[in-house]
Structure 1
Amino acid sequence: MGDGDTGAGPRAEVEAWLAEHWDPDLSVERWWRLVAAAGWTAPHFSVEQGGRGLPQRAGRTVRAAFAAFGALEPPGGLGLLMAAPTILALGTPEQIARHVPPILEGRLGWCQLFSEPGAGSDLAGLTTRAQRDGDNWVINGQKVWSSQAREADYGMLLARTDFDVPKHAGISWFALNLDQPGVTIRPLREMTGDAVFNEVFFDNAVVPAADLVGGEGNGWMAANTTLHFERTGIGAGGAHAGFPPPGPKGGVLGMRAGDAARLRAPEGMVVTFADLVALAHEHGRADDPTIRDALARLHCYVQVGQWNAARAKAEAAAGNAGAGTAIASMGKIAQTRITKLAAEIGMDILGAGGLLAGPDGAADGKFAKAFVFSPASSIYGGTDEIQRNIAAERTLGLPREPNPDRDRPYREVLRGQRRA
């Protein structure tokens, strides 16, 4: 199958495979192993990487076919979206063999440990420290806004391994086991009432030297690789989240696969085009020209976002890393626009009733929650301002903002900040 085969061909192949292999009496763990072995967890990965060599958007086709067949869908999660592609791109053969199969098989969940209280948009300003101690690195510091950290088994950790070089040069990327003394995870309650995000504290936590990915001091390059995959996936609107969640903390690995297939995810905060069309019909607004115009605009945004993600992947595959990164950033901005517009359309259809949360609201308050959460889309995955800077510098060729501290040892920069 070539890159253009994303419709009837792959779907028919998925359905034929399911007809032969779907067994609802298997455990979830055994079923997901079987799915991964066939390359359906990440069909956009190459065959050598554990996929099927299909375009990125093929994952949506595969998951839709699984759902229509009544089979438990492949595992998802942030490990699939970001950790596995990063390790495949930068890891050693030993690291790939050890970390990627458990992600594809849904045996372990991952989270991202990048942002800090003083290093969000300026991610390179992070101060979480990693010090070498024999065959290990000892970690001390704090991270914040870490989605799914309480459910994860491993974290993609950025830590500073050298304070005596410029701040972008002294960072390293680690695969950190979260289940150890010295790691404390605390939920952060949001105005939605949920706690999607967490803060994570490290007090002499330990990472084996074998879990430093991409080489010491190459963390900024590794981080941008991870962020590229994140933004490309978000921009494509991919189904990376998955349900039920991967890893032992999800509580389903030992469950019968047929029973797990009947589980339904809690009403989330993602409002789809199909959700809004159904809502418009339900509330007699389907013929409202204002609503129809907004829905048409949303549909166009979604389609362009998917094409943009395919373009970013093609640029990266062709070796145009700068262009691919900039396009991914534009895709992230586009997805922010989609998220906010979808939430606004829901409110426009429902009127004042859209503000009702819980069982009194439409779809148990799903649209109200989506509206309240939608501003976060301008922040997670990289702020809109940072994405615009990347696109301006790498696509339009505009000059960078002045940074007199760029080439100074980061230890000196920190001293100057403390004096100020």
Structure 2
Amino acid sequence: PELAADMVPRLLDGTEQWCQGFSEPGSGSDLASLTTRAEQRGDNWVINGQKVWTSLAQYASRCVLLTRTAPGHAGITAFFVDMDTPGITVRPLRTMHDVDEFAEVYFDDVVVPADRMLGQPGDGWKLAMDLLPYERSTCFWHRIAYLLATLDGLAGKSDEADDLDLGAAYLAVYTARCRSHITQRALAETGRVGPETSIDKVLLSTAEQQLFDTYRDLVPGAIEWTDPVLRSEYLYSKAATIYGGTAEIQRNIIARRLLDLGKEQ
């Protein structure tokens, strides 16, 4: 509580930006297989490993970092790490839509005080499962607003022959919007969201890709030649079924945690 009281206001008022040290080169959506290690040495923990796809890490002041302190899910421990700590190296990654949005982050004998552990040893998996539903829900509302504006622009450039394709894109975007509206209301009323936000993620990914694919089909040359902003958004849409947990992972969550279909055989 003392750490939260000191740090959270800095995030909320925009003084600081934070990042999530979750994914690794061999452990993206399969978060439980992470290998970045934390070893206790006296009153400190020493961290070694690598994270990747860390959004805007080059601008972050702090990192919510998942590490391994023991085998299995119960061996994942979270720390709140200052990004200017000696031993941290950040290397931005340029995506195909020409933005340095992601970064590789290396941890080489990074010393973190024990009071920067979030919860107890082994609480990291629980923390991640609590945090990720928010990543897959609340932030989508503004993205859907952008998709709606793009859809309006496309409607003004299409003709009656395109109505079927345009209608399918319209349906996908508005389905995602309706679902997101349900999630925003639930969050406002209860203060919490859960695994059901995987539905939001699947619907947003579908709408994003369908809209920009339709734009490319109905307005030939715009994405390829005449509209650099649209081209960037089209390329970005290709990552929609990957970032924040792949579409396959989201469907597994829906099947297991919402429909109780059990584990894969």
Per the normalisation by structure 2, the TM-score is 0.90
CA displacement at 1:303 relative to structure 2: 2.4
Specify the SS of the correspondent of 2:208. helix
Tell me the distance in 2 between the aligned counterparts of 1:115 and 1:284: 41
Relative to its length, the structure with more strand (as a share) is: 2
Deviates more, 1:148-157 or 1:189-198: 189-198
Partner deviation per Cα, 1:342-377 (whole Å, 9 max, x = no partner): 212321342133212xxxx22xx1111222221211
Please say which structure displays the higher CA radius of gyration.
1
Match of 1:354 among 223, 229, 232: 223
Deviations 1:146-202 (A, max 9, x none): 110111111110001224xxx100011111111122001112222223221111100
**2:96 aligns to what SS in structure 1?**
coil
State the match for 1:117 in structure 2.
Answer: 25
Which consecutive unaligned segments of at least 5 residues does structure 1 have? 1-92, 240-269, 319-323, 403-420
Deviates more, 1:152-161 or 1:308-317: 308-317
State the 4+ residue runs in structure 1 displaced beyond 6 angstroms.
none
- Map residues 9-408 of structure 1 onto 2, 5 A cutoff: 93-163=1-71, 167-234=72-139, 236-238=140-142, 271-281=146-156, 283=157, 285=159, 288-290=162-164, 292-310=166-184, 313=187, 317=191, 324-356=193-225, 361-362=226-227, 365-401=228-264
Shift of 1:279: 4.2
Matched to 1:370, the amino acid is E
Measured in 2, the distance between the counterparts of 1:397 and 1:100 equals: 36
Tell me how far apart the structure 1 counterparts of residues 253 and 105 of structure 2 sit (CA, whole Å). 28
How far is 1:206 from its partner? 2.0
Contact 2:137–2:180 (Cα < 8 Å) also in 1: no
Matches of 1:284 and 1:317, distance apart in 2: 42
Task: State the one-letter code of the partner of 1:342.
Answer: L
- 1:188/1:196 contact within 8 Å kept: yes
Q: Is the 8 A contact 1:161 1:170 kept in 2?
A: yes
1:221: Cα distance to partner?
A: 0.3
Structure 1 residues 309-347: Cα deviation after superposition (integer angstroms, max 9, x where no partner): 2366379658xxxxx533111111111112112212321
Distance change in 2, residues 1:231/1:312 (3 Å): farther
Secondary structure class of the residue paired with 1:132 = strand
Question: Structure 1 residues 134, 312: CA separation in 2 closer, same or farther (over 3 Å shift)?
Answer: farther
Kept in 2: contact 1:140–1:202 (CA 8 A): yes
Question: Partners of 2:120 and 2:189 in 1: how far apart?
Answer: 25
Answer yes or no: is the 8 Å Cα contact 2:135–2:244 preserved in 1.
yes
Aligned residue pairs total 264
Secondary structure of 1:200's counterpart equals strand
8 Å contact from structure 1 (residues 138, 204) kept in 2: yes
- What is the rounded CA distance, in whole Å, between the counterparts of 1:389 and 1:284 in structure 2? 37
The CA deviation string for residues 292-320 of structure 1, in whole angstroms up to 9 with x for no partner, is: 414531442232232342366379658xx
Cα gap change, 1:233 to 1:221, in 2 (>3 Å): same
The amino acid across from 1:401 in the alignment is: E
Q: Distance in 1 between matches of 2:230 and 2:171?
A: 19
Q: Structure 1 vs Structure 2: percent identity of aligned residues? A: 40
In 2, are the aligned partners of 1:271 and 1:343 still within 8 Å (CA)?
A: no
- TM-score, normalised with respect to structure 1: 0.58
